[in-house]
Structure 1
Amino acid sequence: MSANGRDFYQEYEVFSSKKNGAPMQYQFSLLAPNEEIALVMAQENFMRREPAVDIWVVKRSHIRKMTQEEKESLNRLDNKDYRQTSGYGYLKKKWRHYEQNILDEKEILSWGGDES
């Protein structure tokens, strides 16, 4: 590709939503000379494969990435494993044990004895 070709085409990222109110999901990248043609290309490429109610086309250069320093700030200094759902795996077993010990209606009625 010539220097002029690289300047002519820009990279775009395509996102879509399948239903109203559904989150946008990343689909693919494409090269286009401008936003209008990028949107038409995204519609043509995407709509052939599956339905969509909305499509976003974003120039890649407009997407801001985190710096390495910002990424490092995401690491937690303290241990807060309790925030992770994997830490609650024991609850299913505990709940099953609890349910097995619950008295059912027949057992409770059997305690009544005779009222004759």
Structure 2
Amino acid sequence: MAKESDFYQVYEVFSRRGNKAPMQHQFSLLAPNKEMAMLMAQENFMRREEVIDVWVVRQSDIRKMTSEERQGLTNRLDNKEYRTTKGYGYLRQKWKEKEQGMLDEKEIMSWREVKRK
């Protein structure tokens, strides 16, 4: 006879609230098989919130990144300094100087009054 710990498996439950909404992880549950996991997810979740789709996935079927893969991804993402806007900080000051040099409405109206005299 199988051990009780082998009988139950951990399932992750995901749901979607609308057609354009993303799938979101909701909770984990213990169930003997995927059909029972789906019934339990529907019973525990769908009666509380309106959802249009529910996914149940056995936790052991989910593949996580290894530490080597994660390190490789981090190294690849760290060399994107060209995407930051650090080099454009001086432009704000240039725009201020340019705006100060431009004519404003009061200044233009003051010219009109000078011409009338």
| TM score, norm. by length of structure 2 | 0.68
Tell me what 1:29 maps to: 28
Answer with 52-61 or 75-84: which moved more: 75-84
What are the within-5 Å matches in structure 2 for residues 25-104 of structure 1? 25-76=24-75, 79-81=79-81, 83=83, 94=92, 101=99
User: Is the counterpart of residue 16 in structure 1 residue 8 in structure 2?
Assistant: no
The CA deviation string for residues 86-110 of structure 1, in whole angstroms up to 9 with x for no partner, is x6xx6xxx4xx76xx3979955974
Q: Distance in 1 between matches of 2:42 and 2:21?
A: 18
CA RMSD of aligned residues (A): 3.5
Amino acid at match of 1:26: H
Q: Distance in 2 between matches of 1:8 and 1:16?
A: 25
SS of residue in 2 equivalent to 1:16: strand
Count of residues paired in the alignment? 109
| TM score, norm. by length of structure 1 | 0.69
Structure 1 residues 83, 46: closer, same or farther in 2, change over 3 A?
A: farther
SS of residue in 2 equivalent to 1:29: strand
Displacement, 1:79? Answer: 3.8
Structure 1 residues 6, 51: closer, same or farther in 2, change over 3 A?
A: same
- Percent identical pairs in the alignment equals 53
Answer with 101-110 or 74-83: which moved more: 101-110
Displacement, 1:76? Answer: 2.4
Q: Where in structure 1 do 4 or more consecutive aligned residues deviate above 6 Å? A: 102-105
Q: Which runs of 5+ in 2 are unaligned?
A: none
Structure 1 residues 110, 74: closer, same or farther in 2, change over 3 A?
A: same
Structure 1 residues 56, 81: closer, same or farther in 2, change over 3 A?
A: same
Displacement, 1:7? Answer: 1.6
Q: Which runs of 5+ in 1 are unaligned?
A: none
Greater Rg over alpha carbons, structure: 2
